[in-house]
Amino acid sequence: MPELPEVRTVSKYLRENLLGKKILDFDLKTKKSLHDNEIENLDLLKNQKIYDIKTLGKYIIFELTNFYLVIHLRMEGKINFYKEQPTHFNLIHSIFLMQLDDLFFNFTDHRKFATVDIYFKKDKNIRNLNVLKKIGFEPWDIDIDSFFEKVKKKSSPIKVVLLDQHNIAGLGNIYVDEVLYRAKIHPLQKTNTISKDKLREVLKHSKKILEEAIELGGSTIKTYSAAGNEGLFQNKLIVHQYKNKYCKNCGEKIKIIKVGGRGTYFCPNEQKLWE
């Protein structure tokens, strides 16, 4: 499932292949995937050049000549390129198809959860785009004092708070489990019982794990693939998906519970609840 490292990996691949290309045709195949849209006629996207491609949390932002095109892969969104006109089979789950100079760009999601937003480029700060306005900072940009202030009043489990992209951007179900394992915090620990020092640890491990994963091109679990490339970080996961396995530190059996409705892996010996 694409979290920040997977999204960065995809984005890097897109940058390497698409910067400077011109959109010759834009064909929205799944209308309900278009959430925000500031232009009435999508033909306005024609002849727009791809100036830049960046990411914020799990969002990918295409900076065009006059517009921003923001996409989110959700769980199963994928991007494929073709040299030739894609076949009917290739387009079955398509969200949109773009012709970019010499190649065809196909954004697909067989579950149709992936989203697209289109905005006028009136503001250089992408954080002012509607869909990104409320997104929190990525771990590297977070100021520990304001993060602690924000979080210390919450009575939700730490895992739920870390998964909420309004609090911190980039972590998903897989990496949150790894972060909490390394920080030795029980996923159900209420956030308002976590000290600033402990929270600092959480941030430290978040940065470290995400950096390691980015280095390895993300994790490939189930169906994630970065336009054909597979990540390698899944081999480094310590707790997530460790069903019927044992903690590498203490040998205790990894436990699986539900937190915020999500499958959660942790070591009951090393990640104990306090208070």
Supply the residues annotated as catalytic. 2-3, 58, 262
Residue 198 binding DNA, by CB under 7 A: no
Binding-site member from 41, 87, 125, 155 for DNA (CB under 7 A): 155
262 binds DNA (CB under 7 A): yes
Beta carbon nearer to DNA, 18 or 95? 95
Determine, following the binding rule CB under 7 A, whether residue 218 of this chain makes contact with DNA: no
- List Cα–Cα distances, 41 to 38, 45, 118, 163, in angstroms: 9, 8, 11, 36
Binding to DNA (CB under 7 A) within 103-122 occurs at 110-113
CB atoms inside a 10 Å sphere around CB 147: 20
Residue 72 interacts with DNA (CB under 7 A): yes or no:
yes
Q: Coil, strand, or helix at residue 46?
A: coil
Q: Of 262, 236, 202, which Cα lies nearest the Cα of 5?
A: 236
Quick one: which segment of 17-25, 45-53, 153-161, 179-187 binds DNA (CB under 7 A)?
153-161
Question: SS3 string of 67-104?
Answer: EEEEEECCCCCEEEEECCCCCCHHHCCEEEEEEECCEE
Q: Is 174 a binder of DNA (CB under 7 A)? A: yes
What does 220-258 look like in DSSP terms, one character per residue? --TT--BTTB---GGGG-SSTT-TT-B-TTT-PBPEEEE
Q: Least distance from C-beta 140 to DNA, angstroms?
A: 17
Does the footprint of DNA cover residue 258 (CB under 7 A)?
A: yes
Size of the site for DNA (CB under 7 A): 33
**Cα separation, 64 vs 31, whole angstroms:** 21
Residues forming contacts to DNA in the complex (CB under 7 A) are 1-3, 57-59, 72, 74-76, 110-113, 131, 153-157, 160, 163-165, 172-174, 256, 258, 260-263
